Amino acid sequence: MLERIIFSLLFLLRLSLLVRGSALTTAISANERLCFYADVDKAGEKIGFYFAVQSGGSFDIDFDIKDPNDKILLDGQRERQGDYVLTANTVGEYAFCFENDMSTLTEKLIDFDIMVESEPRREAPAKPGQIASRLVP
């Protein structure tokens, strides 16, 4: 249990140092709920979430994603894997939780990835033969 707490704290530390993506593997014991968190700095950022159950039981897990207001954005039961992209409409901390309460004895091993990224607006490229100009204040 202490190992999981330390792991979660290290994960949050990485996020606070502006690491915008992370690929992780975690074990979830029987009857356990384990959550990971990602901060969104501005509305409109994209959140990528991927997971795959690597071992344990029927290779399935329950999950949910909640926004900073504790509203469930996405959930699934007995899923083997998932790959989702969401738009963050609210600034703050998003929760990504796995729950292994359907299992009474079996630990599950899960690979997952949470990414938060800004999508900078790009200028349209100049047409062939035209010179791009920029306004200087």
Give 94-109 pLDDT, tens digit per residue.
999 999 988 788 999 9
Q: Record the pTM.
A: 0.70
Domain-wise residue ranges, the chain: 2-117
Burial class (CB in 10 A: 0-12, 13-18, 19+), 84: middle
Euclidean distance between CA atoms 110 and 54, whole angstroms: 6
Of 63, 56, 33, whose CA–CA distance to 108 is shortest?
56
Residue 10: which H helix or E strand, with range? helix 2-16
In DSSP notation, 98-134 reads: EE-TT-SS--EEEEEEEEEE--PPPPPPPPTT-----
**Mean of pLDDT values over 63-79:** 97
CATH topology of domain 2-117: Jelly Rolls (2.60.120)
Euclidean distance between CA atoms 105 and 119, whole angstroms: 43
